[in-house]
Structure 1
Amino acid sequence: MSGRGTGHSPHLVALVLAVGVMLAATGCSFGSPDGPSMTTPTFGPPLPGGAQVLEPVSGEPSSAPAPTSCDATASLRPGPPTTPGAMPPGGPLARIVERGRLIVAVDQSTNLFSFRDPDSGQIAGFDVDVAREIARDIFGDPSKVEFQIRDTVDREPALQDGSVDLIVNAMTITCDRAERIAFSTVYLNAAQRILVTEGSGIGGVADLAGKRVCTVPNTTSLANLRRIQPAATVLATETWADCLVALQQRQVDAATADDTQLAGLAAQDPYLEIVGGSLEPEPYGVGINIADEELVRFVNGTLERMRSDGTWTKLYDQWLSVLGPAPAPPEPHYRD
């Protein structure tokens, strides 16, 4: 995938080819989507490093309360206008300006959102550019950002202990998370769906019963899958890129994540497709320390500017056009 969010980079093509060579060496081949299905052991060694197999759980499928049930998507209204570089003393914004950079938690394996651009070697994507817009409004300079690579396990602790100022990482606003951290208004509406190989016969969540499904720990995707389809066997991998490889090696029958994340995986393999309707809505928000009310209001001011001046639509067209034409930006929802 190129730095512009379209096409295939040489590195990603090489990954797909390398997987094919490895499988050929073990007597397996991909075949065409219309060809015979590949047979493997239950998962087939070797599993990705750090992967866990979660057996089916007992119980009937159920749904979860939406984030609106506790008003988790309601945030604080933007604060008064500020001059870049000159922030009110004594608060988180003054601390960030004194430090000289905004520190933001992202990852490097969510294609289209925050990934390592193989051409430049830099972190790039929709979320990365949202973070740069916040830095632009703080400093007048979008480059004054330090991106820290954090996985889903330690991103909240890093926010809570002050190691990072923000999480901008395709993070879904949930009632549970809103008890621990603060969120901006919704900056992107996603929906959890299913990714499969073309011709798989899987068309929706009901078809995942008895199937092997890949997702990532400590995500709403895993929690939703276990609740909505408890009869699935789960391969929980450390990254979404590991799920891509597991699908390509036929170690799993499907992967599930937000449609925005699945689009980034599908863009790397022409034999993959997103199927079925929405399992759950996934409203994305910027994560902020719950004590930093001033910073919450400031971030919401940046998001308001991005909606009104066309920046949001520009970034959507740049990175997420694979999902179709840009929709209207999410309307803000405030509780004060």
Structure 2
Amino acid sequence: MVAVLSCGCAAVETAEPPAHPPYTQQPIPSGAAVAPPPASTAAAPDCGDPTASLRPFPPGETPASPALDRIRERGRLVVGLDTSSNLFSFLDPATGTIEGFDVDIAREVARDLFGDPQRVDFRVVAAKDRVPALQAGTVDIVVETMTVTCERRAQIAFSTVYFEARQRVLAMRGSGVESAADLDGRRVCTVVDTTNLQHIQQVQPAATVVTVQNWADCLVVLQQRQVDAVTTDDSILAGLAVQDPNLEIVGPGFSYEPYGVGVNKADTDLVRHVNGTLERIRTDGTWQRIHERWLNVLGPPPPPPTPRYED
């Protein structure tokens, strides 16, 4: 707006000072960025069934092997995970301990190695660092809502599937976002270097995708209205939704996300050991108890995923 002053001469226009904003904008989390378009449309590598893994050892057998002997000599199982995935792996503020569905899965692996589920050292590993951590040997296994894909199987080994999720959308109630289709021209958050980023760019290429380092950061930018929605697996979205009653999971699932335990490709006997643990907890009711403890927000526990083996 301008003001015109009459002074018996030529009109002089003076701009009014801009109004101060009613509040200071919150900074975005460190490492947040707008994702570039996909580099190419090349087809993903084909490895057959990526969820097929190595058969477990026969019950009661724990053979000597370089990988298992290394862990037994150390006396601890070193597990990579993420502490920002509420319900799966998070830091309990009341106890100061790491808890969740993935944590309990890792403890069952340690139980079968040592007879003690507490003999675990947890290392916080960002999503982008999961594969490098396994390749470098800084962790023995990664239990971190990690989807089994052919691309990842070219770099690391996986256990059989221990949880099945579907990618969906999380939005503010009443926002008008009811599915991925409504993200045309809007901003959506996901974590960098995840299958979720690939899928949302395929399903809704007209969305602006903001990538962050962890799921807690996605919750922050959604609450600060810096994005219109978050997209990831429904299991992870449930953990975000229980932290804020203004949020709701919307729309149908648009991708299949089978979770596997990541292992270094050279540690085949460790893969078999992990698969033995997963087979045990599927049959003795432990898997269902872990699901009821952490994921009752998703409803009654379904049957555990059926294992597939390649040998």
Counterpart residue number, 1:119 = 94
Counterpart residue number, 2:267 = 292
Q: Which moved more, 1:196-205 or 1:129-138?
A: 196-205
CA distance, structure 1, for counterparts of residue 121 and residue 192 of structure 2 = 25
Larger strand percent: 2
Counterpart residue number, 1:97 = 72
RMSD of Structure 2 on Structure 1 (CA):
2.3
Q: Per the alignment, do residues 195 and 180 of structure 1 end up closer, same or farther by CA in structure 2, a change over 3 Å counting? A: same
For 1:27, the aligned partner's letter is P
After superposing on structure 2, the runs of 4+ consecutive aligned residues of structure 1 that deviate more than 2 Å are: 54-59, 62-65, 67-70, 80-83, 87-91
- Could you tell me which of 282, 287, 290 is aligned with 1:312? 287
Counterpart residue number, 2:35 = 54
Contact 1:56 1:232 in 2 (8 A): no
- DSSP 3-state at the match of 2:244: coil
Deviation sequence 1:76-105 (CA, Å, 0-9, x none): 11112346xxx4334211111111000000
- DSSP 3-state at the match of 1:172: coil
Contact 2:65 2:269 in 1 (8 A): no
Please tell me whether residue 76 in structure 1 is matched to residue 54 in structure 2: yes
Counterpart residue number, 2:238 = 263
- DSSP 3-state at the match of 1:286: strand
- Could you tell me which of 272, 296, 307 is aligned with 1:321? 296
Counterpart residue number, 2:227 = 252
Counterpart residue number, 2:116 = 141
Q: CA deviation at 1:152?
A: 1.1
Q: Which has the larger radius of gyration?
A: 2
Q: Per the alignment, do residues 102 and 136 of structure 1 end up closer, same or farther by CA in structure 2, a change over 3 Å counting? A: same
CA distance, structure 2, for counterparts of residue 63 and residue 199 of structure 1 = 38
- DSSP 3-state at the match of 2:144: coil
Contact 1:243 1:255 in 2 (8 A): yes
The count of aligned residue pairs is 292
For 1:216, the aligned partner's letter is V
CA distance, structure 2, for counterparts of residue 140 and residue 327 of structure 1 = 28
For 2:146, the aligned partner's letter is M
Q: Per the alignment, do residues 262 and 302 of structure 1 end up closer, same or farther by CA in structure 2, a change over 3 Å counting? A: same
Q: CA deviation at 1:70?
A: 2.4
Q: CA deviation at 1:50?
A: 1.2
- Could you tell me which of 11, 22, 27 is aligned with 2:22? 27
Q: Per the alignment, do residues 90 and 327 of structure 1 end up closer, same or farther by CA in structure 2, a change over 3 Å counting? A: closer
Counterpart residue number, 2:14 = none
Where does structure 1 lack aligned partners over 5 or more consecutive residues? 1-25, 29-39
- Could you tell me which of 127, 138, 142 is aligned with 1:152? 127
Compute the TM-score of the two structures, normalised by the length of structure 1.
0.82
Counterpart residue number, 1:277 = 252
1:201-280 to structure 2, matched below 5 A, reads 201-280=176-255
Q: CA deviation at 1:63?
A: 12
For 2:112, the aligned partner's letter is D
Where does structure 2 lack aligned partners over 5 or more consecutive residues? 1-20
Q: CA deviation at 1:68?
A: 9.0
Q: CA deviation at 1:328?
A: 0.5
Deviation sequence 1:18-68 (CA, Å, 0-9, x none): xxxxxxxx736xxxxxxxxxxx9xxx5511111112366799xx9987x99
Deviation sequence 1:261-298 (CA, Å, 0-9, x none): 00000000001000011120000000011111111111
